């Protein structure tokens, strides 16, 4: 039995969510005009009609009232109208979704099983609209179960920042990242701590991100795995635009910094730190 959690405060929905916009006539029976009104409403939401019809041809036969009901439902979840438009433009499949069958079970899952607070729903959905078009039984629930068993529970439970992990396949996406880290010689507990501290690790490509960054860290930087355990956020920085340039600048000047100090700061702060280290080195040299 599905239950509906009520928001803590009344929703003040825009009038457009319950009343047809001015370009829509509720009384016309002309099929061509009704179709044009649908297109105009998509454009008002900043949804590309050509893209929508190409990716979801069934929308051509969908009543305008269904589009208005869908918009109203998404607004009732706390999404802004621009956010609704972006979500529909990204996933035109939603334009023909059956709300009770396709959407309400997913929202119930987020609220009642994942325990996302109602006020955080908009953040979860705007960060990962794909949740709304993912299969609950074959995708969302299995991934959630795996993540909870892995360690995303208690104070580290899935939240609006990490709901994006729910759309990742357990076998094709989540397990390969975890196995890669274990194959570096890290224990199960060490991998768990790294991933909990930096959940983005589970979203990065093994071939295009993890492998080249580990290779550079070990082969060129001669780094120690203990440093990666302390700073797993290393993998979230660009290898070509930040890691390599900053490391090589430090090497050219004979300096070394911990990963966090090398990468976390802005370019201005990094350059200021470099100048400071050079001045201190010059002062020490002058005393010799």
Taking the chain (288 residues) in consecutive chunks of 10 residues, what is each chunk's mean pLDDT?
44 40 52 87 96 96 94 98 98 98 98 98 97 98 98 96 97 96 96 96 96 97 94 97 97 94 95 91 74
In a 3-state reduction of DSSP, which class is residue 24?
A: coil
The per-residue pLDDT for 29 is: 59
- The C-alpha atoms of residue 286 and residue 280 are separated, in whole angstroms, by 10
pLDDT at 6: 46
Taking the whole predicted model, whether its pTM rises above 0.95 is answered as no
pLDDT of residue 9: 40
Containing 33, the helix (H) or strand (E) segment is helix 31-44
Give the other-Cβ count within 10 Å of 280's Cβ.
10
Token pair recorded at residue 247 = 């490391």
Per DSSP, 166 falls in state G
Rg (CA), the chain: 25
- How far is the C-alpha of 255 from the C-alpha of 228, rounded, in Å? 19
């Amino acid at each position: 039995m599905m239950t509906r959690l009520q928001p803590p405060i009344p929703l003040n929905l825009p009038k457009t969510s319950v009343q047809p916009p001015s370009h829509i006539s509720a009384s016309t029976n002309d099929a061509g005009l009704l179709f044009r009104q649908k297109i105009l409403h998509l454009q008002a939401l900043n949804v590309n009609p050509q893209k929508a019809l190409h990716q979801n041809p069934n929308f051509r036969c969908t009543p305008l009232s269904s589009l208005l009901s869908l918009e109203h439902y998404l607004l009732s979840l706390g999404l802004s109208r621009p956010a609704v438009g972006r979500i529909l433009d990204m996933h035109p499949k939603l334009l023909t979704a059956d709300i009770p069958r396709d959407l309400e079970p997913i929202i119930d899952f987020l609220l009642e099983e994942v325990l996302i607070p109602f006020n955080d729903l908009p953040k979860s959905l705007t960060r990962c609209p794909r949740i709304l078009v993912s299969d609950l039984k074959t995708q969302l629930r299995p991934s959630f179960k795996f993540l909870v068993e892995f360690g995303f529970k208690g104070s580290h439970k899935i939240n609006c920042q990490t709901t994006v992990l729910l759309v990742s396949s357990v076998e094709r996406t989540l397990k390969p990242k975890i196995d890669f880290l274990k194959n570096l010689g890290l224990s199960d507990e060490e991998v768990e701590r790294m991933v909990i501290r930096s959940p983005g690790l589970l979203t990065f490509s093994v071939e295009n991100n993890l492998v080249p960054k580990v290779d550079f860290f070990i082969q060129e930087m001669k780094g120690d795995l203990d440093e990666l355990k302390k700073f797993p956020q290393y993998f979230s920085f660009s290898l070509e635009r930040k890691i390599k340039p900053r490391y090589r600048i430090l090497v050219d000047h004979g300096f070394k910094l911990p990963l966090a100090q090398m990468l976390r700061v802005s370019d201005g702060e990094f350059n200021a730190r470099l100048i400071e280290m050079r001045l201190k080195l010059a002062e020490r040299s002058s005393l010799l």
